Amino acid sequence: MTLLSVERLKLFTTRSPWWCALITLTITIGFAALVTANADDREFAPTVSSTQIGYGLGMAVIMVLAALSVTTEYRFGTIRTTFQAIPNRIAALLAKTTVVALLCLVIGEISAFGAWGVGKMIKPTADLALNSTADWINVAGVGVIYAFAAIIAIAVGIMIRHSAGAIALLLVYSLAVESLVGLIPGIGHDIQKWMPFNVAEKFLTGDAGSNSGRGPGGGQSSGVILSQGWSLAYFAAVAIGLLAIAITVAKKRDA
């Protein structure tokens, strides 16, 4: 518990988590308000999924938050102090990852239910009730995806150690690369089926993912053959695998 308390104090005594949380909430809830307010019940009726249309951009901000939680320590040299005080680097990095992932889980749940709540307030007559398991996953699943996305961002931050480089790589990959891979002739579609954020979209939207338009790179979980449960397991495995690689790298090199 001491390690977790130390990491919590380090995280919350900086301004970047607060700003990133505020931006995430503004984006996700703001987009939900815009989409719902402009929805036409005859041509484009608002749905539970459409209230979450800003989740992809919110996730990009979440990954910035997670990456900065690591790279700023390398930038200012505080990571050396941490490793001197806690020689077990695995425990130190796992504690940081746990605290950041839990924060991102909470932010994700607040933003998702906030977006859904705003949509329901703007269009009280629309069919926005959480009547099925799919509807609940659509909303409550956002926080879970944010948590695992944060783990991916921390892993990248540990390996790259520079804020600009880590953030650029994360944003370019999540917002552009996965969508563009599908354009590769012949093999692009087959590769895209297994891209992690594309698979995460399948977990959130199920079979409706290809039409949801809410993913990081345009929102199409096109061609994913895994079920919703296995999609989450796959995304979690990618996140944990990257973290394991990053911790191994951190153990073998100087802080």
pLDDT number for residue 208:
60
> 95-120: per-residue pLDDT in tens?
999 999 999 999 999 999 999 999 99
Apex CA 194: angle with CA 190 and CA 196, to 5°?
A: 145
> 135-164: per-residue pLDDT in tens?
999 999 999 999 999 999 999 999 999 999
- Total count of domains within the chain: 1
- Residue 198 Cα to chain centre, angstroms: 12
> 5-28: per-residue pLDDT in tens?
888 888 888 888 999 999 999 999
**pTM of the predicted structure, to 2 decimals:** 0.90
d(CA 125, CA 7): 45
Encode burial over 155-184: b for 16+ CB neighbours within 10 A, e otherwise: bbbbbbbebeebbebbbebbbeebbebbee
Q: Which domain holds residue 169?
A: 2-252
Encode burial over 217-251: b for 16+ CB neighbours within 10 A, e otherwise: bbbbbbebebebeebbebbbebbeebbeebbeebe
d(CA 95, CA 83): 12
pLDDT greater than 70 at residue 230: yes
> 41-76: per-residue pLDDT in tens?
666 778 899 999 999 999 999 999 999 999 999 888
Q: What is the mean pLDDT of the chain?
A: 88
Write the DSSP assignment of 64-110 as a string of letters: HHHHHHHHHHHHHTHHHHHHHH---HHHHHHHHHHHHHHHHHHHHHH
